[in-house]
Structure 1
Amino acid sequence: MTSTTSADRNAKSLIPLERGGTAESSTVQDRAVEADRSAMQDEAPLTARDLWQATRARRKALRTEIRRFTQRSRRRRIGWIIGAALALLIVGGSVGAAYSPLFAVQTITVEGTSSLKAGDVQKALSGQVGRPLALVDASAVKAALVRFPLIETYRLEAHPPHDLVVRIVERTPVGVIQQSDGRFTVVDVAGVVLSTSEEQPAGYALIDVSGGTASKAFAAVGTALRTLPAELRGQVAGAAASTPDDIVLQLNGGAKVVWGSAEQSALKTRSLQALMKANPDAASYDVSSPGVGIVG
């Protein structure tokens, strides 16, 4: 009985061990099956929706990266656009204002006149008063100033908001020519008649040349006279030439100046001044060769 009891005990004690081993093994197998199922689920083929979502996410990420890398250039481009818009606004506003009555002519200032009266020139240009400075009629101004023979050149200057400045260069009278009718005309170096009178005006040389004011002889005499300083030119009573190379000046005191051609007139003028200063009572001065002055 004792042996049977021991055997039974051993049998009873082995049964639980065998069942316990079987339960643990079953648990491990279940876990392996679940892992296989998960792997099978992970390895399941992608659907069209999965591909669309992945593509959309990639495009979104790409756009984000592009925006991040081009942020500086986009800011720079926006800055240029804003700057250009402001510049156009300023230019457009300025142009619009320039052509508006806000910049209309109210005052005409004449500068550079000596023989002319500035008031006469202003009166001739009065038609420009009230016009915008940008719309001053240059043709009308020219037509008005042509009536003044003493005007050689002129320049218009707009001084906003309301001033129009006219800078005038007057012609330089070089002498007097006696006309066939006995009257005397004051002319400049180009032969333009500046004034006419019945009597010979004082202070101008009487010019006697062959061929009239259109000749080369007159052009040479005019150049020589214009080169003289105003003070010395006022001492010349007459100027004669039959050709461009034989100019002779007659001074008020009776002395004669052999000038020759009009070439090197500036140098000849300095030579004459030096000779007259050193020999004020001489009867003649020859400066036809300016390097060698001759006193007679």
Structure 2
Amino acid sequence: MRRFTRISRRRKAIALGAGISLASLVGGVAVVTLSPIMSLTTIEVTGASRLDPQRVVDALDEHRGTPLAFLSDDEIAADLADFTLVRSFATEIVPPNTLIVRIVERAPIGALETANGVELVDAAGVVIEVTDAIPDGVPLIQLPSDDAEGVAFGAVADVLIAVPREVVARIRTVSASTRDDVTFELRDSAHIVIWGDAERSAQKTRVLDAAIAATDQAVRWTYDVSAPDSLVVRDAG
């Protein structure tokens, strides 16, 4: 009986000690987590070039003093929703009191001439900037209408994303009326390039380069690489 009692008391003591330790641990974590020492005081913004980083910091200022554990990406996303230049973002918490917001900005793929001026747009048709002139290296997008949400714009956007940047820089104008009839005029030579759709863009680029190298550059040509296995070259006049 004495032995059984000693064992029972020992088990109760161990259980009580474990409970106290667990409670202390949970309490300690709660105190540290909710302590002002672990609350947000510093906001850093990286990746912003067109967008003023200080504007982002100001938009997130209401979160200062919030315990780091309670910071919400959903709430931060809501605060950044008004910044059209922000394509996406990621956050990093650096204890004891810092939040780093890494911004990925929208990048223009081309320009649209509208009644409002020259609109630089990204692949989603979002207007990034309105300027008086088309910047160097930015192609002018010519569509049946100024609709940046239509099929023709989507086709142009897909192609401009797929082709190498050095090719995009050589394009003066790009046009389309359907999903598979994207056509370029090259900036330096006025050659016409019938590209088709965005499929097999790497092969089309190689075929175009070889065709240009093999033809008389004193003549204005039309290069049809829409079916890259069957290149067609004709005098554009």
> TM-score with structure 2 length normalisation?
0.79
C-alpha distance in 2, partners of 1:206/1:132? Answer: 49
Structure number with the bigger relative contact order (C-alpha 8 A, sep ≥ 6) is 2
Deviates more, 1:217-226 or 1:205-214: 205-214
| CA positional deviation for 1:274 | 5.5
Picking from 180, 185, 190, the partner of 1:245 is: 180
Picking from 159, 163, 180, the partner of 1:224 is: 159
SS at the partner of 1:248?
A: strand
Does the aligned pair in 2 maintain the 1:125–1:141 contact within 8 Å? yes
1:286: which partner in 2? 224
C-alpha distance in 2, partners of 1:291/1:92? Answer: 70
Deviates more, 1:110-119 or 1:236-245: 110-119
1:106: which partner in 2? 41
1:166 and 2:101 aligned: yes
Does the aligned pair in 1 maintain the 2:225–2:231 contact within 8 Å? yes
Q: Identical aligned pairs, as a percentage? A: 33
Q: Which structure has the larger Rg?
A: 1
Over aligned residue pairs, what C-alpha RMSD do you find? 3.0
C-alpha distance in 2, partners of 1:255/1:117? Answer: 40
1:189: which partner in 2? 123
Query: Do the aligned partners of residues 65 and 90 (structure 1) sit closer, same or farther apart at CA in structure 2, a change above 3 Å counting?
Result: closer
| CA positional deviation for 1:240 | 0.6
**How many residues in Structure 1 have an aligned counterpart in Structure 2?**
227
1:247-295 C-alpha deviation (Å, 9 max, x unpaired)? 1122212122212123x2xx31343145326734483433322445555
Amino acid at match of 2:191: A
| CA positional deviation for 1:130 | 3.4
Picking from 180, 196, 199, the partner of 2:133 is: 199
2:197: which partner in 1? 261
SS at the partner of 1:213?
A: coil
| CA positional deviation for 1:239 | 1.2
Structure 2 segments unaligned to the other structure (5+ residues): none
| CA positional deviation for 1:84 | 4.8
1:121: which partner in 2? 56
Structure 1 segments unaligned to the other structure (5+ residues): 1-62
Picking from 264, 271, 274, the partner of 2:204 is: 271
Query: Do the aligned partners of residues 105 and 276 (structure 1) sit closer, same or farther apart at CA in structure 2, a change above 3 Å counting?
Result: same
Larger strand proportion, structure 1 or 2? 2
Picking from 96, 101, 104, the partner of 2:31 is: 96
Query: Do the aligned partners of residues 289 and 74 (structure 1) sit closer, same or farther apart at CA in structure 2, a change above 3 Å counting?
Result: farther
Larger helix proportion, structure 1 or 2? 1
1:146: which partner in 2? 81
C-alpha distance in 1, partners of 2:125/2:96? Answer: 40
Deviates more, 1:183-192 or 1:151-160: 151-160
